[in-house]
Amino acid sequence: MSWAAHQFEYYAVQGHLPKRWLGRISFLGIVVGDMSCDFFGKLWAYGFDIDGTHYGPDQPAQWHRGWPGLGVTHSILWAFVLAGIVYLATRSRPWTIGVLLGAGIHVLTDVGDSVGTMLAFPFSTQTFSVGAWAYGVTPAGRNLDAAAYYSSLGFVMDVAWLVLALTGWRCLTREYWRTQIVTADPGAWAWLGRRLPERALVTLYRCWFIYGTCRLIAWTIWAHVLEQHQWDLSWGGPSWIARAEISNPQPLLTIGVVAVVGTLLVLAINALVRSPDRFWRRR
């Protein structure tokens, strides 16, 4: 489970796109693809209470990341299936690649916690995990999960993605938005531009960065100033929360699989970027 890291990764990726990919990938597609992984399963993973009765899965980690369960949304297969659906529905190259890249990045970054993701699904239902911090989704709810995440190496993960996004800070400028973001996906931005003034459009582009920063600051203040949860930056921490696992975390194996899957993703995107125009709708 990563928190604000998922917001920062949109900008970290966009700000460091290879030149040959610039202007060919929809930023909004990256956002939609990234969000799709948690959209279907996250709410039920926490569950909710009505009149003292808790409704939710018995094993949140299995439901969210495993099989049987909705763990398929955290597999590289999901990224390709979603991109295939977008392609069939829109024939839009920027959106197809954007969704593929966004979902792929989400799946790869979620290997950091103790549960990990099913990177090799459907060939294997094993979850690959580095186990750097404890997966904290429990029936106790989101607050405990946030406290655990922002007391562990998860906090470091968020800050690292923030720093990576900031190293490509030019992608947050109005100039970049006008010259790279809009031109890559003129249809969607033109549609939005008929409804919103430019200052709101630029803020729409930046809003996940602002939200991620606020989220990082707010949860950290809440966990350590208001609630005074204990920091535990040891590997696999924090020790004060039950650590959920599906398969045993295997950091070295996971890094190897991430490298293979990441390479596959890059090759697929390269192929899509270079594919003949006749396969795509003209912009």
Partner 1 sequence: MVLPTSRRIVGVEPTDRPNFDRFFVLVGAGVGGHYLSGVRAFYVRHEYSVIYVVSSVIYIAVALNLRFLLNWIVGPIWPIACMWFVPVVVRRLTGWTDPIPGEPGDATS
Q: Can you give the binding site for partner 1, defined by CB under 8 A?
A: 35, 142-143, 174-175, 178-179, 182, 189-190, 192-194, 196-200, 202-204, 206-208, 210-211, 213-215, 217-219, 221-222, 226
Alpha-carbon distances, residue 268 vs 15, 78, 276 (angstroms):
20, 14, 14
Q: How far apart are CA 187 and CA 43, in angstroms?
A: 32
Minimum CB–partner distance for residue 245 and partner 1 (Å)? 26
Question: Closest separation between CB of residue 215 and partner 1, Å?
Answer: 6
Least separation in angstroms between CB 246 and partner 1: 25
Report which secondary-structure segment, H or E, holds 126: none
Q: Least distance from C-beta 141 to partner 1, angstroms?
A: 10
For partner 1, which is the closer residue by CB, 212 or 249?
212
Contact (CB, 8 A) for 126 and 118? yes
- Cβ closest to partner 1, residue 24 vs residue 142: 142
Specify the residue, 207 or 242, whose C-beta has the smaller distance to partner 1. Answer: 207
Which of helix, strand or coil describes residue 156?
helix
Question: What is the 3-class SS of 68-120, one letter each residue?
Answer: CCCHHHHCHHHHHHHHHHHHHHHCCHHHHHHHHHHHHHHHHHHHHECCCECCC
Nearer to partner 1, 63 or 189 (CB): 189
What's the closest the beta carbon of residue 156 comes to partner 1, in angstroms? Answer: 20
Closer of 9 and 114 to partner 1 (Cβ): 9
How far is CA 282 from its chain centroid? 29
Residue (197 or 276) nearer to partner 1, CB: 197
CB of 206 to partner 1, least distance (A): 7
Among 153, 105, 158, smallest CA distance to 130 is for 153
Please state, in angstroms and as integers, the Cα–Cα distance from residue 211 to each residue in 29, 59, 72, 132, 175, following that order. 18, 29, 27, 24, 21
Q: Which is nearer to partner 1, 193 or 251 (CB)?
A: 193
d(CA 88, CA 17): 25
Residue showing tokens 């990990």: 116
Q: How far is the CB of 4 from partner 1 (least distance, A)?
A: 10
